[in-house]
Amino acid sequence: MIYQQLFEKNGSKTRVRAGVIGTGHYATAVITQAQAIPQLDVPVVCDRDVEAACQALNHAGLDDEAFVICENRQQALTAIEQGKRAIVADAMLLMDLPIDVVVEATGSPEYSALHAAEALKHGKHVAMVSKEADAVVGPILKYRADQAGLVYTAVDGDQHGLLIGLVQWARDLGLEVVCGGKALDSELVFDDTSISRRNTEIYVDPADRPVFAAAPPAQTRQYIERRHVLAGEFGGIGGFDVVEMTIAANATGLAPDVPELHCPIVRVPEIPEVLAPVDDGGILSQRGVIDSVICLRQPYEAGLGGGVFIVVSCENDYSRHILVTKGLIPNSKDNMALIYRPYHLCGVETPISILTAALLNVATGTMHYRQNYDATARAVEDLKAGDRVGGDHSKNLRVLMQPAQPVAPGNRLPLHMANGNVLTQDVPAGTILTADMVQAPENSTLWRLRAEQDQMFAKA
């Protein structure tokens, strides 16, 4: 990697100060890893639950005397000047403090949109961890950052951010990305008599066990379809997975083949065979697709580790020969190959995105961003007027990736604009949520930004 050389050559700063908002699992790793990076400091941490912020700093090896809970800007400035960490409950206090980058990791659609917009208004770069707002208003936030000479970026460590980078790298080499995607974190393990996922096991009848072996190229579709039937609930994709792939689609121009995503259950070597166009023996109706996979493996085999992948091709026969003979996994026709990264390290990797934004004024993700698709929701069961709409983990909603529409009556509403708001009417099972079905909140930054974004793209 050449990051350090670039930092030293082009960086005008010698040390970057980042403020973290939200101290869940992901952001805590940002804080802990920053302790090992001389160029990165996290002098202020924000969480409405100040005890959670204290715990995050304890995880970083800091004792209670190393940080101060601050109720106003002056207290926070004093703590920072004394070399201590400032903890604040109000994110607006963080905006006026001497930091270069705001790491938004609350996971709240409304608050993450507000915090990102305020950070840019105050001249801070934004490393956007919260996918919930990014999937709805990421392009307008990116536009605002560009206009201000700032960086708004998806982050290394999260799957959609890593996929964006991997796709761009392949395209920079002149490779065609036929399909790109992520592997679900939990893998399907087949031990010759049963399949298991998350320590739950399903017995497989002997007559069905061959379908979990390597799929013959001529029977790819049949094997994939049968595996999903046998896997039952093990074969589902999470709504949050679709949301992440929506962000990556909007940043890369890749498109879903079907709104639900195929999410096949595949062994690693099968990916370039399965996620290929039908004419090449795969299941895709087009090229340039975004999708996800559930990794199928035996207990002794390595898996995908929740990583990211691309299926690539190239026009030149000699170059293609190199691809399929020097380590990449080809399909049976030797005209496509798999490139994959079998890990994503969450907040441990995110410091690279923070440093790149502050030192180079460059995004590691989200370089070209347009709202081509929205993460929408279909009711799985009957919903009643007065119910509050859930999020991308809700069991009564199926998250889909569909072409984006302006927010207007009768048009599909992005899930995270509906999330937490009240239904104005009954919604029968099987119905897609639309804007007229949800009571619009008052004074919502998320809704206001989306209206501005819709207007901007309508003019474009």
Separation of first and last alpha carbons in the chain: 37
> Is residue 365 a part of any domain in this protein?
no
Q: Which of 25, 116, 20, 131 is nearest to 393 (CA)?
A: 131
At residue 338, φ and ψ (nearest 5 deg) are: -100, 130
Task: Please state the pTM of the whole predicted model.
Answer: 0.96
Confidence band for 233, pLDDT divided at 50, 70 and 90: confident
Question: What span, in angstroms and rounded, lies between the C-alpha atoms of 146 and 143?
Answer: 5
Q: What is the mean pLDDT of residues 123-130?
A: 98
Same structural domain for residues 267 and 395?
A: no
What is the CA angle 20-391-27, rounded to 5? Answer: 15
Please give the structure tokens belonging to residue 115: 């915090």
Give the tens place of pLDDT for each residue, 149-162. 999 999 999 999 99
For residue 214, report the phi and psi dihedrals to the nearest 5 degrees: -60, 130
Residues whose CB falls within 8 Å of the CB of residue 421, separated by 6 or more in sequence, listed in order: 388, 389, 438, 439, 440, 441
CA dist 364 and 135 (Å) reads 17
The enclosing domain of 138 has a CATH number of 3.40.50.720
Q: Which of these three, 360, 393, 411, is where a domain ends?
A: 360
pLDDT digits (tens, 9 = 90+) for 267-277: 999 999 999 99
Residues 351 and 381 in one domain: no
| H-run or E-run covering 403 | strand 397-403
Answer yes or no: do 170 and 150 share one domain: no
367, part of any domain: no
Q: How far apart are CA 307 and CA 173, in angstroms?
A: 21
Of 378, 421, 438, 435, nearest to 402 (Cα)? 378
The amino acid that residue 132 corresponds to is E
Q: Are residues 185 and 238 in the same domain?
A: yes
Range of the domain at 393: 373-459
Q: 147 in helix, strand or coil?
A: helix
pLDDT band at 457 (very low <50, low <70, confident <90, very high): confident
Which own/partner pairs from 2-7 qualify as long-range (CB within 8 Å, at least 24 positions apart)?
3/352, 3/355, 3/356, 6/359, 6/360, 7/39, 7/355, 7/359, 7/360
pLDDT surpassing 70 at residue 13:
no
pLDDT for the residue 11: 61
Residue 65: inside a domain: yes
What mean pLDDT is reported for the chain? Answer: 95
Contact between residue 374 and residue 246 where contact means Cβ atoms under 8 Å apart: yes
Tell me which amino acid residue 64 is.
Answer: D
232 and 336 part of one domain: yes
pLDDT band with cut points at 50, 70 and 90 for residue 444 = very high
In a domain? residue 368 = no
For the chain, what is the domain count?
Answer: 3
* 121 and 248 assigned to the same domain: no
Residue 238 corresponds to which tokens in the numbers above?
A: 């999470």
Q: Decide if pLDDT at 367 tops 80.
A: no
Residue ranges with strand state E in 123-272: 125-128, 152-153, 176-183, 188-190, 194-197, 200-203, 255-256, 265-266
152 plus 64 within the same structural domain: yes
Given 360, 386, 401, the domain boundary residue is 360
Does the pLDDT value for residue 371 go beyond 90?
yes
Q: Which residue has the tokens 């206090």?
A: 93
Question: Does 175 share its domain with 316?
Answer: yes
CATH for 434: 3.90.1210.10
Quickly state the pLDDT bin for 12 (edges 50, 70, 90). Answer: low
Q: Is 169 found in the same domain as 136? A: no
Does the residue 366 lie in any domain?
A: no
The yes-or-no verdict on residue 95 having pLDDT over 80 is yes
Residues 393 and 337 in one domain: no
Neighbours of 422 (CB within 10 A): 15
The first and second tokens of residue 142, run together, are 């990116």
Same domain, 351 and 303: no
Residues 48 and 82 in one domain: yes
Q: Please compute Rg for the chain using Cα positions.
A: 23
Task: Tell whether 197 is covered by a domain.
Answer: yes
The answer to whether position 123 is within a domain reads yes
Give dist(CA 132, CA 255) in Å, integer.
Answer: 19
* DSSP code, position 332: T
228 in any annotated domain: yes
Helix (H), strand (E) at residue 16: strand 16-21
Helix, coil or strand: residue 289: strand
